[in-house]
Every structure is written in structure tokens, then in C-alpha cells.
Chains A and B, each alone.
Chain A
Amino acid sequence: MAGKTELPPQLRHEAARIERIARAAGLDFGDVAFEMVDARDVNALAAYGGFPVRYPSWRFGMDFERLDKGRQYGLSRIYELVINTDPAYAWLVRTNSDMEQKLVIAHVLGHADFFKHNVWFQPTDRKMLDRMADHGTRIRRAIDLHGQDAVEAFMDSALVLDNLLDPFLPLREHMKVRAAGAQGGASTVGSSFEAVRERALGSSSSRPPTFDVLGFLAERAPLPEWQRELLRIVRAEAYYFLPQRMTKIMNEGWASFWHSRILTGGVLDASEVVEFADCHSGATASSPGNLNPYKLGIEMFRAAEERGLDLFRLRRVHNDASFVDEIVDEEFVARNALFLFGKNGRTGRTEVVDREARAVKERLLQDLSWGGLPQIELVDDDHAGRGELILRHHHDGRDLQLSHAAETLKSLSRLWGASVHFETREESSVRWISSDGAEIRTGERPYERTG
């Protein structure tokens, strides 16, 4: 990053003031390191998922290309970026106006509070910046030893599997470790606690049935050590980002709720109010086919407040799905004009299908549960005694994109070194897809154990 990154004195002063107000309002966050960067740099940071130290990959280059084109054409703009680390790093974009900087600072503090308190973030590694840098070093070393093409090819095949995770695993393990710590009576010192957690995350998934397919593979696939290491890196990073996926609506809603409250509570100059309203409504605007997580999130917190619920408890214990389950009811659906849309088979148009609260809520829950991912379970790792894998998709009415699933399976089979079989449904009929790493076969149920 070129140029100075510290905040100018006046903004530093504002940041301190906003922090005081936020704390007085009940937010609780660790240190937040604010830095100023150019619009281009923030796109690069965003391409790296917020971690400028990440390993080299063409995918980050691609994401950057897309984001930066969007910026150049004026189609998209990033105001800020904050990562869940200790201290939390927050990048403010130099081109933001003074009012926007204030808004963004307040918004960031909301996120920082959320990171610190939401239960789903408790298992995450707050030293992720160092961890990512370490991953970068390891992968660069692998490139030096095995060549860019080999590493790239392996990373590509590992990354296609990076959503075969168990979203509840980290928290489950975290709870276990905590309980063990409490039983032992010793207060867990930072580093040894980390070590225990590390072991727990490592060893929990070695046997089917499991949803943590990535963990299973990292441990059991017959891979050379360097590839195993890469697979572990992919898994560690995927699990790190998972809570953000599971709490996107809440997290954005919480941050928006607080930036709105803090700014309209005396931080704004009178001259800035209109600009604030404009910027805020832009961020929380919704269009029919498009549910804005900022909007849905802030409305849920407002509804909760009206009902006299404890907001701080809600932000601690929920993820998006459970929060929707708690808050969304008939009145909420009506007031926010939520509807269910779908494709009309006859006209091919996308249209409003239903406004009934139950249907809307059901659909929301379905979309948000399991981190928004298809639920795929490894059920057997030695099918018919031949060491073949069987995976099962828990179909919930939404079909998978089958050609992609087949390609993914091919990748999986190459990693595993034997055939893999996959059971899913299309509409209501069962579909089997198998791959031996080279070919893809569909339709047949894999042979049963004989004898």
C-alpha cells in the first residue's frame, strides 16, 4: 500500500469521540486499528478477504479485476473493510467524505462488538493475520519446491471442496474444550488454550459419518505431506470465514443499527444530516428480487427493540437462521413487504408467488440454515470394501447444479485416489453420480457389498 495509512488528526479525534459514544451506548469491543487506504487498495484487500498477507493465487487476481472494474465504471464502491482479528483492522477509503468516514467508523465499531461477542465467532482465531501470513509462506515454499503449476493445480482441486464443512463443528469443539477447561479448574492460558483447540479441530473428523469432508480428507486421503498441508490450510481458512457467512445479515444489521443510532445521536453536524440519510438509505435500499442483508438485519434489530427484547443478548447467541426464527412473524413480514418469488414455469418470468408469512419464513430459514450451503455428508469411506467414498446430499427441495457437482466429484475422487459416489435428488427422484477421477457416471446406484 502506498502512502500514509494513519488517519488525519481531525478524523482520529472523531474516531475517539465515536468510540466513547459507542461504549457509552453499551457496545464493547477490543482495539480497532483504523487505517486509510486508496479505493484501489481496498479492492485489493477485499479480493484477499481482508488479509493482505494471503497466499498467491490467480483467484484473488480475478476478484480484484472484477472489483476494480466495478470501481472504474462507477458500479460499485467499497466504503470500508474490517477483519475479525485482535486488534481488529479497519480500512477506511480515502475518498469517503467526512460524513461517510464518521458513519463508517461507527459501523466498524458495531462489527467489532459483534466479532467479540457473537458466539459463532468465539472459536475463530484472533491472530488470523499471522496465521494467514504463515499460510502464505508455506504455500510460497511449496511453489518453490514443487513448481507453480503443481501447487496451483492442487489448490484449485482443493478449493472446489472448501464448502464441504460442518458449520457447527467449531463451536461444538469450542464448547467441549471450554467444558474440559472448567472441569480441570485451571484457567486456560491463551497459548495452551489455543493448542487444545487446535487439537480438537484436527482430530474430530476422522471417521464417517461426518459433514467435515475436508477435515476427513486432510487427515485420511493418501496424499504427499505437502499436499496434505495445503489441504489443511484450505480447511483452516474456510472454517475461519464460515461464521461470517452464517451471520452476515445479523452482523450487517447490527453494525447498521448502531451507525444509525450513534450518528443521529449527536455526532452529525446539522449540515450532514441529509447526506447521511442519503448514504444510509443507499446502503439499506432493497429492490424486489434482491434482499439486502443490511436492510433485513437492521429491521430485525429494530423489531426486537420494539418488542422490548435484550438486543445485546440476541447479538450474542444467534446466527442468521436462528435470529430469523426468533424475530420474523406475520407482522414483520407484512411491515417489511417480504414475499416469496419464483419462476413461473408457463411464462418463464420471475414473479411474486406468495406473501404468506409462514411460507416466507420457511424459505428464509431454508436459505440461511447450514451457512447457506448444501448439506453434504460423508456416509461411508470404505464402500463395498474397496475404499470408495459415499457422500449423501440432504435434499431440502433445492436441487444442486448437477454438472458442477459431477466435476467437483471428479476432483474429490482424484484427491481420494479411489472412486467416489454421490447421492442427491433431482426434483423428487434419486440421482447417483460416481467418478473414478477420470470419468463421470450417472444414474447407477453403486454396487452393493457382495458375499
Chain B
Amino acid sequence: MHRIERDRARFREIVRGRLRSDLRKYLSTSELLGRRGEHSVTIPIPQIELPRFHFGDNSKSGVGQGQGEKGQPVEGEAKDGEGAGGAGEEAGHHVLEVEVELEELARMLGEELELPNIEPRGDKALVADGGRYTGVRDTGPKSLRHFRRTFRNALRRTIAEGLFDPRDPEVIPMPEDERFRWKKRAPKPDSSAVIFHVMDVSGSMGREQKDVVRIKAFWIDTWLRSQYQNIEVVYIVHDAVAKIVDQQSFFSLRESGGTKISSAYELLLQLVRDKYRPEDWNLYPFHYSDGDNWSARDTERCVSILRDELLPRVNQFCYGQVKSAYGSGQFKKDLDTGLEGQEKLVTASVNDRDGIADAIRMFLGKGR
């Protein structure tokens, strides 16, 4: 049914507007995680409600039907709009799900945080053919003729020539009126990118800290996916030793014990040398930790790996320090002093969920 599709499209447009204005809220909740499919995210939004005069909470009572003595709990809360219960007017609590393309979500994120597009590294800015038929020009094949624009031009010309008669509105397009759609090329930095999510899973990283990491990783992935056609994600966890894990374990693992950050950096370096060579890949390591390292000596080692090996090879190295009750937060200070002036290193500290948006902006705001 054609008509309902238009109303539905309008509704979805409104929802997108809502989503855009509420994006900050989604930036700090884990609501969207686990709702990501291959190309889109399903986002739960409360049904848009028009306020009305209607009965409120203390009318959460009514007449029901069934067995049970006084004081026995009633199973199944009164459903909206049903029964004679006072809830007749309360059609407001359904949750709707809307599907949003990942690309669109990334665009919203980009607008919200004012993220620049990523400049491809080096001179190997291969341009992949992309783009959509959103342009208009005055030559082209008949099959791509833009009907409305063509007739608008014809109408304009007819009026200008004084030939237009509203009682007999005859408009005949001439060749010069014709307009055609054409494909606007939207060059994307081609080639491939790999994201390394490296997380400290030592005893001091609690559930909340991991959630913060998780939300941050989700948005970073979303953004980088919109910037590269081909992207791989590698998950690494470390305590005193580092290992590669799958996505699921990355978010659920809880190791305990000491923290040797250098172990992760060494693993990274090995991967960069053997598998993801900088000539072929844009490299984005993200390291999340609460900033507690085993020893000052290990920290020194980390600094030197970064300075001599990793930083020259990667697009950008991001260190996000999540505040925890146990962590000293020393590592960020050490990086900042030890690697002062290194442009490719970005460090940010996140105190709580509200800080996620700022951290993401710091990480992705340089367009590297």
C-alpha cells in the first residue's frame, strides 16, 4: 500500500531526527551493543508520544478476571489499551525498533562530534569507485533523464517566453531543458584498515570499566568502518601476558593478577611486522587500561616500543585510561611525559560514561 509507505517514511524521518538529537545519550549507554548486524543497527526508541490528558500511575488498578484470593499477585500486568482497566488511554509504552544503516549512524556520530574524515596516510590514496546517483547535469542518456528537473526548466522557459497559459498549461521540454542524473563520485580512502582493541583485563578492571571500553569500541568501530571499505578488527587482552581473543571473550573475560603492558605492545608489534604490514594497512591500535602497570621498568619498555617501533608504523595510537577504584592512573602520565611531542599518540582519560564522547572525539578528531 503506497500511502502507508509514505507515512511510514515520514515517521522514520522523525525517528532519525530524534536519534540524532539524542545521540549523546546513546554514546553513554550500552543499549546499542549487541544490536549490530552486518550493515545496520537496530535501535530501540520509545514510541513517540503526544502528551494528552490521561490517567496516571495510581490508576494502575482495575478489574481483572481469573482465580486467586485476596492478596494474590496478578500475573501479567495490564496491557495497554486492553480491558476495561484505567489504562485505556495509555498507548504510550511500546518500544519501537528502528533499523539504521551503520553508515548513517556513523554520519550522525561524525556530525555530533564534528569528526573530520580520515586523511589517508602517505601518498597511496587509492580512490575506490563509490558514489550514488545524486548529481544532476545537462547531458546524459535518456534513461537517466531527471523528469522533474527537466519539466521545471521547461516550465521556467515557457513562462519566461511568455507562452505559458494557465488555462491550457502546455509545457514541452526542449533539448536544452533536459537534465540528467549522474553519479557523484564519493571517493573513499581505499585500502584497508585494521583496528586493534587492546584491553587490560587485570584484576582492577571491573565491570563498569569494561562497559566503558565496550561502548567506546563500538563507536570507534562504527566510525572507522564508515571510513574504510575493508576493515579488520583484532581483539587483544592482556594481564601479565597478552593474547588474541575473539570479540565475545574480549568483552567477557575477567583475568586477574598483575599487569604487564609491554606484553601487549610486543604482541602488537609482532602482528604489525608479520601480518598487518604498514605498507598494506592503515593501523589503528586502541589500548584501554586503568593505568596500573606492574613496574616502572615495564613502563619504560612500553615507552621505548612505542617510540621506536609502533608509532612510526601506525596511523595513530590511542590510549584510553578508564578510571577505576584500584588503578593508580600512573601510566597515562608516564606516556605523556615520556613521549611528549609525539603527534601520533593520543591519550585520553575517561572518568565515567559521560566522558566517552569526549574521548572518542580526542581519538578520532584528528582525521588521521
Contacts and interface: CB of A to CB of B under 8 A. Distances in A.
Given A343-B61, A350-B60, A350-B74, A290 B14 contact: no
A173 B51 CA distance: 30
A288 B64 contact: yes
A353 interface: yes
A405 B89 CA distance: 13
B248 to A, nearest CB: 26
A349 to B, nearest CB: 5
Nearest to B75: A288
A365 to B, nearest CB: 10
Interface residues of B, number: 55
B83 A293 contact: yes
Contacts of B60: 342-343, 350
Given A61-B7, A355-B70, A400-B55, A291 B47 contact: no
* Interface of B, helix, strand, loop or mixed by DSSP: loop
Contact of B65 (A59, A69, A160, A339): A339
Given A289-B75, A290-B76, A339 B1 contact: no
A286 B61 CA distance: 16
B160 interface: no
A344 B70 CA distance: 11
Nearest to B14: A58
B77 A160 contact: no
A255 interface: no
Given A350-B73, A351-B72, A338 B63 contact: yes
A288 B65 contact: yes
B67 interface: yes
Interface string B280-311: 00000000000000000000000000000000
A50 to B, nearest CB: 13
Interface string B328-359: 00000000000000000000000000000000
Interface string A400-444: 111111111001000000000000000100000000000000000
B85 A291 contact: yes
Contacts of B3: 44, 52, 56
Interface in B148-194: none
Interface string A278-298: 000000001111111101100
Given A52-B3, A62-B48, A292 B83 contact: yes
B96 interface: yes
B98 to A, nearest CB: 8
A88 interface: no
Contacts of A290: 64-65, 76, 78-79, 82-83, 85
A44 B64 contact: no
Contacts of B62: 291, 340-341, 363, 367
Interface in A147-176: 156, 159-160, 162-164
Contacts of B10: 56-58, 61
Contacts of B52: 160, 162-163, 404, 408
A293 B65 contact: no
Contacts of B8: 61-62, 64-65
Interface in B1-56: 1, 3-4, 6-14, 47-56
Contact of B55 (A160, A162, A320, A374): A374
B84 A249 contact: yes
B70 A160 contact: no
Contacts of A352: 64, 68-74
Contacts of B55: 374, 398-401
A33 interface: no
A351 B74 contact: yes
B47 A367 contact: no
A411 B65 contact: no
Given A289-B79, A289-B83, A290-B85, 18 more contacts: A48-B4, A58-B14, A61-B9, A289-B74, A291-B85, A320-B84, A337-B66, A338-B64, A339-B66, A340-B62, A341-B62, A350-B78, A352-B70, A360-B63, A363-B63, A367-B62, A367-B86, A374-B55
Please give me the 10 A-B residue pairs with the lowest Cβ-Cβ distance, nearest first: A61-B7, A61-B11, A291-B83, A342-B61, A401-B56, A407-B51, A61-B8, A288-B66, A44-B4, A404-B51
Interface of A: 1-2, 40-41, 44, 47-48, 52, 56-62, 64-66, 69, 156, 159-160, 162-164, 249, 286-293, 295-296, 320, 336-344, 349-355, 360, 363-364, 367-368, 372-374, 376, 393, 398-408, 411, 427
19 contacts: A40-B1, A48-B4, A56-B3, A58-B14, A69-B97, A160-B50, A287-B75, A289-B74, A290-B82, A291-B82, A337-B65, A350-B60, A351-B73, A353-B70, A373-B53, A374-B53, A374-B54, A401-B55, A404-B53
